[in-house]
Amino acid sequence: MSEGRSILGMILRNFILSFRPRQIRGNLAGKDYFGNKYYEIPADPRQGKRKPSRWFEPLEKEAFDQELPAEWEAWLRGRRQDAPTVEELEKNLEIMKMKKKNALLIEQEQAVAKGDTKEVEKLSPPTTEFPKYEEYEKYPGQKT
């Protein structure tokens, strides 16, 4: 008989280990600029867990079509080991805003070159002014 492993010993050891408390709640890994929170339970090879468990908690519980930053999505899917830093997220957000602004300017320039004024109006950034009506007074006691 082999002295190293016995089935009864393995069953008894696993039974005793099953009473140890397990980590159910994850460690907060970070937040994104949308307000989502990201959690992780690290891998524990002693318990046969080779990969960490990662998930996120959305800001709005009912919104199933949440937008996630690319850095956090890569972390959730295991494509990157470490969670993104705040500096990295801010830098990439500024780059994204700059690219959107430049794309809008290029589209406007192309529309002007074609001479399409309707396209230029459609591409111009939306204004947030209040509507103006002739029947309402601009200043109290004055019609115009």
For the entire predicted model, the pTM comes to 0.58
Residue 73 sits in the same domain as residue 89: no
pLDDT grade for 1, boundaries at 50, 70 and 90: very low
Residue 73 sits in the same domain as residue 91: no
How many C-alpha atoms does 24 have within 13 Å on its Cβ side?
A: 2
pLDDT reported for residue 23: 64
The phi, psi pair for 79, rounded to 5°, reads: -80, -15
pLDDT reported for residue 102: 92
Flag whether 2 is in a domain.
no
pLDDT reported for residue 3: 58
Flag whether 51 is in a domain.
yes
Residue range 11-42, pLDDT digits in tens: 998 888 888 776 678 899 999 988 899 999 88
Flag whether 4 is in a domain.
no
> For the chain, what is the domain count?
2
Flag whether 77 is in a domain.
yes
Residue 140 has pLDDT above 70, yes or no: yes
The phi, psi pair for 76, rounded to 5°, reads: -65, -40
Residue range 81-138, pLDDT digits in tens: 999 999 999 999 999 999 999 998 898 888 888 877 666 566 666 566 767 777 777 7
Distance CA(38)–CA(28), nearest Å, equals 6
H, E, C per residue of 69-131: CHHHHHHHCCCCCCCCCHHHHHHHHHHHHHHHHHHHHHHHHHHHHHCCHHHHHHHCCCCCCCC
The whole domain housing 109 covers 85-126
Residue 142 has pLDDT above 70, yes or no: yes
Name the DSSP class of 134: T
Flag whether 132 is in a domain.
no
The phi, psi pair for 117, rounded to 5°, reads: -75, -30
Question: Which of the two residues, 125 and 73, has the higher pLDDT score?
Answer: 73
**For residue 28, what are its two tokens?**
């907060």
Q: Is 141 helix (H, G, I), strand (E, B) or coil?
A: coil
pLDDT reported for residue 125: 60
Distance CA(27)–CA(42), nearest Å, equals 8
